[in-house]
Every structure is written in structure tokens, then in C-alpha cells.
């Protein structure tokens, strides 16, 4: 995790800072919602936003065990997927090597009506215009680039994804859902 956080995520932060140097300061969330063209702002900004979102939703396993799914989130999971277990199975299938070819992310998003699982390539995310037919708001997401899991899991991405549930903070995911439903905009991350 230290290499993932300090080197990979750190590089995205340095590169987005370089790409926006000399320009008015804009929150990273605004950059994501307006990043149309592939290039330094979209790629490095996406890398920073996605990783900051990823770190914010995880906690040590002992804390994850005590985190709770809110009634609002439970109701939306049940209506969108049938159950938490069914959502997890669909999410794991969407994160499988054949589903996200190469590098990317898998998200559970609020789509305005319910929850939807979305895979994105590279450092794209569902907040970006042109990724899907409409903007969607992530409430949880996992990095499926090899750098996220290779040192510990080698080529066993499915094992990494299955074990990731053990560090997911459901309190934070519930908070994310409440925010995006109420505000109809993405969750802010630390710039």
C-alpha cells in the first residue's frame, strides 16, 4: 500500500499540479466533471481523484468489521441488485480480468434512480463526461490496475477484489450515497 499510495498516487498528484500550474485553483471534483479530452488534466486528475476516493473508503479490517450499511444504502442495494451478496458477486464479475481489460476501475454508482456497477478504463471515472451516456456518481470504487494488487496477489485479481471487501468502510459508502442523492454531484476528495 505504501508504494501504491506514495509512488503511484503521488505521481498523479505531482502531474496534475504541473498540468494546472499557473492556472486558477479549481477543486479536483470540478476538474473531473469538466475533463473532456484525454490529456494531463483528465489522466492525472483522474488518477488523483480516483485514488483519493479509494483511500477514503478503506479502513483497517477491525474497523471495517464494525462499519454498517445505512438503511438508505441497504434499501438501494436491495432494489438495484437483490442483496449485498448479489451486489458483491456482480461487482466481482465486473472487476474480473476479462471484464476490465488491462487497467481501470470498477465503481458502484448512483445513476439518479438506483445503483449501477460501472467499469472504466485507465483513470477515467463515471463523473467524467463521455464515459457513460450520462454522469453517474460513484459511492464506492476499486482500483484494478496491476499496481494496486500485484505485489501481494501477483496475477490473482479476483482474490484481491474479494479481500478488498474486508477493508471497505460501509459507514463511508453510506455517507457517500446520502451525499450524492441529496446533492446530485460527486463526492469531494482531498485536493
**Residues 116-142 pLDDT 10s:** 999 999 889 999 888 888 889 999 999
Query: Is the sign of the CA dihedral 155, 123, 166, 56 positive or negative?
Result: positive
Q: List pLDDT tens digits, range 101-122.
A: 879 999 999 999 999 999 999 8
**Within the chain, what is the greatest distance between any pair of CA atoms?**
49
Which pLDDT score, from 0 to 100, does residue 47 have? 85
The full set of domain ranges for the chain reads 1-191
**Given a cut of 60, is residue 190 above it in pLDDT?**
yes
The per-residue pLDDT for 59 is 94
In the predicted structure, residue 92 carries a pLDDT above the cut 80: yes
Q: How many helices (H) and strands (E) does the chain have?
A: 10, 3
Binding residues: 4, 51, 143, 147
Name the more confident of 46 and 51: 51
Annotated binding site for Mn(2+): 4, 51, 143, 147
Higher pLDDT, 25 or 62: 62
All 3 cell numbers of residue 119?
Answer: 467499469
Q: Give domain 1-191's CATH number out of 3.40.50.970, 3.30.43.10, 3.30.830.10, 3.55.40.20.
A: 3.55.40.20
Amino acid at each position: 500500500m505504501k508504494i501504491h499510495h506514495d509512488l503511484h498516487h503521488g505521481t498523479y498528484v505531482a502531474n496534475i499540479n504541473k498540468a494546472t500550474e499557473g492556472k486558477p485553483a479549481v477543486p479536483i471534483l470540478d476538474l473531473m466533471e469538466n475533463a473532456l479530452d484525454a490529456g494531463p488534466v483528465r489522466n492525472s486528475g483522474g488518477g488523483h481523484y480516483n485514488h483519493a476516493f479509494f483511500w477514503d473508503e478503506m479502513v483497517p479490517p477491525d474497523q471495517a468489521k464494525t462499519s454498517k450499511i445505512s438503511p438508505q444504502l441497504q434499501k438501494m442495494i436491495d432494489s438495484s441488485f437483490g442483496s449485498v451478496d448479489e451486489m458483491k458477486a456482480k461487482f466481482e464479475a465486473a472487476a474480473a480480468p476479462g471484464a476490465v481489460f488491462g487497467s481501470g476501475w470498477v465503481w458502484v454508482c448512483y445513476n439518479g434512480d438506483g445503483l449501477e456497477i460501472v467499469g472504466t478504463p485507465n483513470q477515467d471515472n463515471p463523473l467524467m463526461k463521455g464515459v457513460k451516456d450520462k454522469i453517474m456518481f460513484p459511492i464506492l470504487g476499486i482500483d484494478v490496475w496491476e499496481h494496486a494488487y500485484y505485489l501481494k496477489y501477483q496475477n490473482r485479481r479476483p482474490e484481491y477484489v474479494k479481500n478488498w471487501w474486508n477493508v471497505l468502510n460501509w459507514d463511508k459508502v453510506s455517507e457517500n450515497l446520502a451525499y450524492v442523492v441529496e446533492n446530485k454531484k460527486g463526492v469531494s476528495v482531498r485536493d
